[in-house]
Amino acid sequence: MPTDLNPYDGIFGGWLMSQMALGAGSMASRVGQGRANVVAANDMSFPAAMALGDELSIYCEIVREGNTSITIAAEGVSRERNGEETKIVCKGTFVFVLADDEGRPRPVRIPA
């Protein structure tokens, strides 16, 4: 949307980062079977610009499992609005700590 543009008419990097965090958070909650709180965002990069109207897909992969944390790499790929050309527009790594109902860290129990 136009409100998500930077002063140079490209998609604002902060919006892209939030979309990556949403995708990674969804994966962390689903795989961790419950509440997952983001505690770190690392290695953010924006290798290409995304244009207004392009479609964004977020792809995630678990890269590390700790005692109470899951680290997920996220990558955003844009597809041009009226075509098939795609490009990587954002990448980053997010760390989530799994939490119980009281908000305390709980062990990672990823199903087999």
Using one digit for the tens of pLDDT, what is the confidence trace for 48-100?
988 888 999 999 999 999 999 999 999 999 999 888 999 999 999 999 999 99
Per the structure, the count of domains in the chain is 1
- 104 assigned to some structural domain: no
Whether 111 has a pLDDT exceeding 60, the answer reads no
- Answer positive or negative: Cα dihedral of 103, 104, 105, 110: negative
Q: How wide is the angle at C-alpha 44 spanned by C-alphas 38 and 47, nearest 5°?
A: 145
CATH of the domain at 92: 3.10.129.10
- Is 92 inside a domain boundary? yes
Per-residue pLDDT at 1: 65
What is the domain range of residue 70? 2-98
The overall pTM is greater than 0.85: yes
Most confidently predicted of 23-27, 50-54, 99-103: 23-27
Residue 54: Cβ within 10 Å count:
19
Contact 24, 85 (CB under 8 A): no
Q: Is residue 106 domain-resident? A: no
Per the domain annotation, does 81 fall within a domain?
yes
Q: Are strands 86-98 and 55-65 parallel, antiparallel or unpaired?
A: unpaired
Task: Please say if the pLDDT value at position 12 is more than 90.
Answer: no
How is residue 95 written in tokens? Answer: 């760390």
pLDDT grade for 44, boundaries at 50, 70 and 90 = very high
Examine residue 103 and state whether it is found in any structural domain, yes or no. no
